């Protein structure tokens, strides 16, 4: 299975970089994982609604350019479908069973994802209604992907 995580912005916090690297290493026996960072749009603190749309659109264009045509795209969105860890594992397993060996998870910037990216998504996934920093979301996501593979294989993993 090929797992791609496309995220807006560059990680600067060492503890997040280290945590993500640890889970990517643990995923090695199960999947090939690639993390792709696309540049975030520089934006002032206070923007008009039109400026926010432009920021999302520019970031969205960068994301869409990185998505392979054959990828099953999972967009992380607050208004997406909430799944348990077991349900995510079933989703990953079903895709592999039916020959969809490339999954791309998309994490937007601080303003979220452009409508074009959401339209390209095969699944909109929510990790809950709380707002989390998009940098932290990368760590949470890669941990859940690792957990999914442990569940699929029936291997023990802490709860």
**Annotated binding residue 67:** no
Structure tokens given for 155: 């291997």
115 C-beta neighbours (distance < 10 Å), count = 12
What does DSSP say about strands 2-8 and 32-38: parallel, antiparallel, or unpaired? parallel
**Residue indicated by tokens 């045509």:** 69
**Annotated binding residue 76:** yes
Structure tokens given for 118: 């959401």
**Annotated binding residue 105:** no
DSSP structure class, residue 109: B
**Annotated binding residue 127:** yes
**Annotated binding residue 47:** no
Query: Residue 45 is inside which H or E element, if any?
Result: none
What residues form the annotated binding site for S-adenosyl-L-methionine? Answer: 76, 108, 127-132
What residues form the annotated binding site? Answer: 76, 108, 127-132
């Amino acid at each position: 299975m090929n797992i791609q995580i496309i995220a807006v912005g560059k990680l600067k916090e060492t503890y997040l970089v280290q945590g993500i690297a640890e889970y990517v290493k643990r995923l090695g026996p199960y999947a090939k994982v690639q993390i792709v960072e696309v540049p975030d749009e520089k934006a002032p603190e206070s923007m008009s609604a039109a400026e926010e749309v432009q920021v999302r659109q520019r970031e969205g264009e960068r994301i869409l350019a990185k998505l392979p045509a054959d990828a099953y795209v999972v967009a992380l969105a607050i208004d997406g479908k909430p799944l348990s860890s077991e349900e995510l594992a079933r989703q990953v397993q079903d895709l592999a069973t039916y020959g969809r060996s490339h999954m791309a998870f998309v994490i937007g910037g601080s303003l979220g994802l452009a409508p074009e990216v959401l339209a390209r998504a095969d699944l909109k996934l929510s990790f809950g209604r709380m707002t989390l920093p998009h940098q932290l979301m990368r760590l949470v996501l890669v941990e859940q992907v690792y957990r999914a593979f442990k569940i699929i294989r029936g291997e023990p993993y802490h709860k």
